[in-house]
Structure formats: structure tokens, C-alpha cells
């Protein structure tokens, strides 16, 4: 599907608003995200996302969804090229709910180690590090990149409890993960090659998920629906 087809289907017009008049939901377009699948999932929940690379739109947004695929450093370069770094940080300071998905989740952290050390948005303190490789003598070890469905281990005291469930399975495609500095920022982990890997993180109104909720069936849609109900500053 062409870029024009995506824009026509999912409201890339800078003046579009979500259905119901509940405020603008902006999906950040910086050339590194799967916008079609995400837009389709948001529309399935009854909202009309605005897909935009315009920095001014972030200041007007009621909620921001921040997808991403590819390498950490390249994704940060895409944000800088479009002048989106400072507006994203300003939106976070203002309490605008932000949901980072996959590489978008990783960019929320202080730095990333993929293909060298790169500065992130530093909205949640931590480092994006490579997943552990399987042990040579472990026949059940997971190959890296980790691709496929995995269950979540939900933290009882963490944000998003009641939305993420212990029996939820989510869909992953990644080689790196958000290793946050503060354990209290971890909402859920999954077990990969003997290590508990953070895969859902949250601080205030900022949420990041390493998995793809738009590809994770009912559990993923439940998480997206909860985010679409999040109030500013919550």
C-alpha cells in the first residue's frame, strides 16, 4: 500500500481529530514505524488517529503514540531530522500520555547500545541493551532476534496492572530491550534465555511496550484501549 493510501485511510491530514471529539490522538511518523497496522488497530477501537511528522501537532495532541522499527540510532536520527526530539520531550513534561511501541519504547530511555552508543529521549532512565544469547548447551534457548509470542510476567505493584494480565501473550520482534534503572518503572517482564527482560515500562503518563500490541490480538487491543482512555498527567 502506498503512502497516499495510508494517509487516506488513517487521517494523516494535520486537521483530523479522533472520532467522538475526545481530543487529538497523534501517531508520530518519523519514517521508522509500521503506521498501517497501528492505525488499523486504533480505528478498530473507535478512534481516528492523526498520522503526522509535524512538531506542532505534538503540542496539540491529547495522546501520542510513538511506534518504531529498525535500529535505535537510525530511529533517533529520524526524529532529529524532523525536529521531533524537543517537542516529544516537551509533551512528556506537560503530562501528555505517550505510548512507545517496540523501538519507540526503546527511544524513551536515556541511551541505546545498538551499533554503538546513542542518546535517547531520556524520558525514562535506562539503557537499551542486547538480549542475552542462548547457552550452547541449552536446547530450549531462544534465538536472537526474538520473534514470536511470549507470555508476560506482570508486576503486582507496577502501573498498568489490571490491564496487562499474567496470562497475556504478546507478539515480539526484537534483539534489544529497555533495561530501566529503576525497578519501579517495570510493569511486566518476559523470560528470555534465563533472564527476566523488561517488556512493559511506565513512569507517570509515559508508557513503553517492547511488544507490538497492534499485532497481539485481544490482549494488545485491551492495552491500546486503556491508553486511549488515559487522562493527561495520569
Task: Please write the tens of the pLDDT for every residue from 64-117.
Answer: 999 988 999 999 999 999 999 999 999 999 999 999 999 999 999 999 999 999
Q: Residue 234 domain-assigned?
A: no
> How many C-beta atoms surround the C-beta of residue 53 within 10 A?
18
Show which residues are catalytic.
102, 212, 214
Q: Residue 36 domain-assigned?
A: yes
Residue 232's pLDDT band, with cuts at 50, 70 and 90, is low
pLDDT digits (tens, 9 = 90+) for 38-75: 999 999 999 999 999 999 999 999 999 999 889 999 99
- The CATH number of the domain holding residue 90 is 3.40.50.880
Q: What pLDDT, on the 0 to 100 scale, is given for residue 17?
A: 45
Q: Return d(Cα 188, Cα 160) in angstroms, integer.
A: 9
Q: Residue 183 domain-assigned?
A: yes
pLDDT at 234 over 60: no
pLDDT at 233 over 70: no
Q: Look up the pTM and report it.
A: 0.88
Q: What pLDDT, on the 0 to 100 scale, is given for residue 71?
A: 94
CB 158 within 8 A of CB 132: no
pLDDT at 29 over 60: yes
Q: Residue 233 domain-assigned?
A: no
CB 144 within 8 A of CB 133: yes
pLDDT digits (tens, 9 = 90+) for 185-203: 999 999 999 999 999 999 9
For the chain, the domain total comes to 1
Show the domain range for 141.
3-228
Question: Which of 109, 103, 222 lies closest to 160, judged by CA?
Answer: 222
Amino acid at each position: 500500500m502506498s503512502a497516499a493510501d495510508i494517509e487516506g485511510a488513517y487521517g494523516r491530514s494535520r486537521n483530523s481529530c479522533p472520532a467522538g471529539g475526545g481530543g487529538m490522538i497523534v501517531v508520530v511518523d518519523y519514517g521508522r514505524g509500521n503506521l498501517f497496522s497501528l492505525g488499523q488497530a486504533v480505528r478498530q477501537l473507535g478512534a481516528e488517529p492523526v498520522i503526522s511528522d509535524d512538531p506542532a501537532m505534538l503540542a496539540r495532541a491529547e495522546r501520542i503514540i510513538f511506534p518504531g522499527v529498525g535500529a535505535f540510532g537510525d530511529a533517533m536520527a529520524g526524529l532529529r531530522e524532523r525536529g521531533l526530539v524537543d517537542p516529544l520531550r516537551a509533551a512528556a513534561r506537560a503530562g501528555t500520555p505517550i505510548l512507545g511501541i517496540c523501538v519507540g519504547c526503546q527511544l524513551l530511555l536515556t541511551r541505546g547500545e545498538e551499533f554503538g552508543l546513542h542518546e535517547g529521549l531520556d524520558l525514562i532512565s535506562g539503557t537499551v541493551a542486547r538480549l542475552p544469547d542462548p547457552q550452547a548447551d541449552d536446547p530450549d534457548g531462544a534465538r536472537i532476534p526474538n520473534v514470536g509470542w511470549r507470555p508476560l510476567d506482570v508486576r503486582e505493584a507496577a502501573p498498568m496492572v489490571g490491564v496487562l494480565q499474567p496470562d497475556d501473550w504478546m507478539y515480539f520482534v526484537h534483539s534489544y530491550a529497555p533495561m530501566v534503572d529503576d525497578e519501579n518503572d517495570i510493569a511486566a517482564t518476559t523470560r528470555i534465555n534465563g533472564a527476566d527482560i523488561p517488556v512493559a515500562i511506565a513512569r507517570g503518563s509515559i508508557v513503553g511496550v517492547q511488544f507490538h500490541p497492534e499485532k497481539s490480538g485481544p490482549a494488545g487491543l485491551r492495552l491500546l484501549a486503556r491508553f486511549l482512555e488515559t487522562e493527561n498527567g495520569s
